[in-house]
Chains A and B, each alone.
Chain A
């Protein structure tokens, strides 16, 4: 079945440093979504990417979808303490159900 792998599992950064999390699928995806879960909270939708090679920006966050539609990345520029949480990618393929990655837990040190 479809598998979505995400690295790194944990990342500690100093406030102001950049952060990137990577997502790789075993199969070609029709779309990929990114979610953020704050500590003790629930996943909240950030963005959806559909097109091959697509790049979208939300303020300090940059999302990319690979040319082969099998990988994606989320990059945060100049992290802030409010960026703390776990970031999940979730891909939809032939099964049409979203398969979530294992998440990257981001800690931002002040």
Chain B
């Protein structure tokens, strides 16, 4: 069974540019989460989808971040325009149950210059 896959694994962009990260969760997992880890600090919650609906987006830093989950399958996280402080590793995770065991992807490392 395929795990959670994320693309790209690494993205280097300049300040002001746009980046779109993609996450394919484990098939059958209705719950999809985005997290961010900055500079080796804690893993911070960004948002949570249940199927195609945004259940909780309280962790989204500001309106430069936009997440979508079309059809309740894969999800995208767009950062536009990117700022220096957006650099970090963006993890996607999926779970069968809400607040259950999370299966993480390998992460997308974003570097904003």
Contacts of A105 in B (CB 8 A): 40
Q: How many A residues are at the interface, by size bracket? A: 20 to 34
- Would you call A96 and B102 a contact (CB within 8 A)? no
Q: Which residues, 28 to 50 on A, are CB-close (under 8 Å) to B?
A: 30-31, 33, 35, 41-45, 48
State the total of A-B contacts with C-beta under 8 angstroms: 52
A33 CB contact (under 8 Å) in B48, B101, B103: B101
- Would you call B42 and A101 a contact (CB within 8 A)? yes
Task: Tell which of B16-24, B69-77, B78-86, B104-112 binds the partner.
Answer: B104-112
- Would you call A98 and B45 a contact (CB within 8 A)? yes
Contacts of A98 in B (CB 8 A): 45, 99, 102
- The interface residues of chain B, by DSSP majority, are classed as loop
Task: Specify the chain A residue showing the minimal Cβ separation from B102.
Answer: A45
Task: Specify the chain B residue showing the minimal Cβ separation from A47.
Answer: B101
- Would you call B91 and A42 a contact (CB within 8 A)? yes
Contacts of B45 in A (CB 8 A): 97-100
Task: Specify the chain B residue showing the minimal Cβ separation from A46.
Answer: B101
- Would you call A45 and B103 a contact (CB within 8 A)? yes
Contacts of A43 in B (CB 8 A): 43, 91, 93, 102, 104
Task: Specify the chain A residue showing the minimal Cβ separation from B100.
Answer: A48
Which of A30, A98, A100, A101 has the largest count of B CB atoms less than 10 A from its CB? A98
Distance from A10 Cβ to chain B, minimum over Cβ atoms (Å): 10
Please, how many angstroms separate the alpha-carbon atoms of A35 and B104 in the complex? 10
A92 within 8 A of B: yes
- Would you call A102 and B101 a contact (CB within 8 A)? no
